Amino acid sequence: MANFLLEIGLEEVPAHLVTPAINQVVERAENFMKDERLAYESIKPFSTPRRLAVLISGVAEKAEDFTDCLLYTSPSPRDGLLSRMPSSA
Is the predicted pLDDT of residue 86 greater than 80, yes or no? no
Per-residue model confidence as pLDDT tens digits over 16-73:
999 999 999 999 999 999 999 999 999 999 999 999 999 999 999 888 887 777 666 6
Query: Element (H or E) spanning 53, and its range?
Result: strand 51-59
In sequence order, which residues have a C-beta less than 8 Å from that of residue 52 and are 6 or more positions away? 7, 8, 10, 18, 21, 22, 25, 45, 46
Report the distance separating Cα 2 and Cα 40, nearest Å.
9
CB 7 within 8 A of CB 51: yes
Report the distance separating Cα 24 and Cα 84, nearest Å.
44
Q: What is the pLDDT of residue 51?
A: 96
CA angle 66-71-75, nearest 5°?
Answer: 150
Q: What is the pTM of this model?
A: 0.70
